[in-house]
Chain A
Amino acid sequence: GQNIDQPTEMTATEGAIVQINCTYQTSGFNGLFWYQQHAGEAPTFLSYNVLDGLEEKGRFSSFLSRSKGYSYLLLKELQMKDSASYLCAVKGTGGFKTIFGAGTRLFVKA
């Protein structure tokens, strides 16, 4: 079957670093996406990985290991506005199908 696993919730302190993990089992692999979603709002695109390694984009970085079916999103210098859900999504074979994880709710405290 196809499955994406992420922790349900995490809490971190303002100014700190947090790593959100994602493991996946899908039919084929055409890339992994991370989205941020604030409560009641639209998900917004953060990052894309298709090759193994680290992609860095400002305070956010995303890592992929295809052999392990594993990715993480690293958020540095946490700000209160980073409190949101973070969705891991994998694009499988066939092109159209993107499987979404349930999301990790991140709480940033002062």
Chain B
Amino acid sequence: DGGITQSPKYLFRKEGQNVTLSCEQNLNHDAMYWYRQDPGQGLRLIYYSQIVNDFQKGDIAEGYSVSREKKESFPLTVTSAQKNPTAFYLCASSIGVSGRNQPQHFGDGTRLSIL
């Protein structure tokens, strides 16, 4: 079955440490996204990628980095510069970025906490 896989489901970060969240999709989608979800707030876009080897900053990119070396993979690194990283992180993909009626397909999320 096609889908998006995020790992790990739970992740703990020590102060000053970088951590990487994995996101893999086998839907053959061109576009991939990373969102952060905090209680009582909507999903906020961190980074998105329209195609391999290309990515763009979203609304809250500071303290995060991404890469898109393969179509299937879009890992997110939460760096030590991100001062408030505790949140639920969701990865999503869609057929294309600009398609009007293309819904996004989401992974099950990674919950990141600070030790």
- A-to-B contact residues, CB < 8 Å: 4, 8, 30-31, 33, 35, 40-45, 48, 50, 87, 89, 91, 95-103
Contacts and interface: CB of A to CB of B under 8 A. Distances in A.
B101 A50 contact: yes
Interface string B90-115: 10000001111101111111010000
Contacts of A91: 100
Interface of B: 4, 31, 35, 40-45, 48, 50, 56, 88, 90, 97-101, 103-109, 111
A43 B107 CA distance: 8
Contacts of B90: 42-43
Contacts of A43: 43, 90, 104, 106
Contacts of A96: 31, 48, 50, 56, 97-98
A8 B39 CA distance: 11
Contacts of A89: 43
Nearest to A97: B45
Contacts of A103: 42
A62 to B, nearest CB: 13
A100 B43 contact: yes
Given A96-B98, A102-B40, A102-B41, A41 B109 contact: yes
